Structure formats: structure tokens, C-alpha cells
Amino acid sequence: MNYEFDKAEQHKLDKLDYQILSILVEDAKIPYTKIGEMLFVSSGTIHVRIKKLEQMGIVKGQQLIIDPVKLGYDISAFIGIYLQQSSMYEEVVEQLKNIPEIVGLNYTTGNYSIFLKIICRDTKHLKDLLHDKIQNVRGIQRTETFISLEERINRQIKLVQEEGNPDNR
């Protein structure tokens, strides 16, 4: 069963919902029974709340996080893409979805229409990816590449309850 909620309903979370989300952001593998013990409620209550958060689209699933460097992918880079025409955005995105080295894609304001995050084995892999794949996508006018030297922060948003909101008792 999947419910559609409007934005006003999505923000009607109570203190328990925020506490559950805060715990899961830190460790998505923690058992419902452990969360229940931490918050002094039953694991059934936790299960029902998480299902509600999933139905509202707030929780979109869980994922395994792999360290690409330990698998030989030493280059992380960002690519700003200039489109030939902004109306080509959807077509370009559909083509970019087929490139596995692209791990993030954002539609942006500013200089670029699209901003990508890519992971490559080395600079040759990066050069080949740019030359043979990305710059050959129909609709891309040109690109600018920024190599990341280090990533210090990569996290989920920290949840902060709004002061004075009666639902956050």
C-alpha cells in the first residue's frame, strides 16, 4: 500500500519520528527492537512508524556504502556540463544514466546546466570517460572538470526539530 501525502502532511512528524530518523541516519542496520529499547517503545511501534515514513517518501530505503578507493577507483571528480539547449536536459540525462562511473547528477543554476560526480580508476580512465563517453553525448556543448583531492564530509542531513512546533513535543 502506497499513500501519497502532500507537503503539509510530510512535515507533521512528532518527536518520536525525529528520534527514529536520527538513530537510523547514524546506523541504518540497527534492529527495530534496539531502537524500541532506546526510545522506550515497542519494536512494533518502530516498524509502523518507519512504514509511515516510507509511505510519506521521507525514508527512501537503505543502501550499502562501498569505499571506491579500496576497489581501485582513486579519482573522484565533478563535471560541469553546458548544454547546447536547455530543452535537451531530459534527453541528455537519459544518455548519462547509461554511464556507470556517474554516481551523482544534479540539475543546477549558475554556469552549468548539469553537475556530475564521477568515480574513475585513474587519470587515463577519467580522460577516456570524458573523451569517449560524456563529451559524445548528444546535446552536450562542453564540459569543465574538477578533480577532488579529498572528501572530508559525506553524510545525510542532521535532523533538527523546529522550536515551537507543537508536533515536536
Residue 116 three-state SS: strand
In CATH, the number for domain 7-63 is: 1.10.10.10
Cβ burial of 118 (10 Å; 0-12, 13-18, 19+) is buried
pLDDT at 2: 43
168 has a pLDDT exceeding 50: no
Is the pLDDT at 7 greater than 80? The verdict is no
- Matching residue, cell 512508524: 49
What is the per-residue pLDDT for 157?
86
Pick 68-148's CATH classification: 2.40.50.140, 3.40.50.2300, 3.30.70.920, 3.40.50.10190.
3.30.70.920
User: What's the confidence (pLDDT) of residue 3?
Assistant: 45
Per-residue pLDDT tens digits for 88-97:
999 999 999 9
pLDDT score of 64: 84
Please report the pLDDT score of residue 61 as a whole number: 86
Out of 8-22, 69-83, 98-112, 143-157, pick the least confident: 8-22
- Hunting for cell 572530508 — which residue is that? 152
Tell me: pLDDT of 161 over 70: no
Q: Please, which residues bridge with residue 147 across strands? A: 77
Say if residue 166's pLDDT is above 80. no
What pLDDT, in 10s, does the model give residues 98-137?
Answer: 999 999 999 999 999 999 999 999 999 999 999 999 999 9
pTM of the shown model: 0.78
| Amino acid 139: pLDDT | 97
Please check whether residue 160 is in contact with residue 21, taking contact to mean a CB–CB distance below 8 angstroms: no
Q: Is the pLDDT score of 86 beyond 80? A: yes
With cut-offs at 50, 70 and 90, classify the pLDDT of residue 1. very low
**Which residue in 18, 12, 20 sits closest to 161, CA to CA?**
18
- Taking Cα atoms as reference points, which of 109, 112, 102 lies closest to residue 142? 112
Residue ranges of the chain that CATH labels 1.10.10.10: 7-63
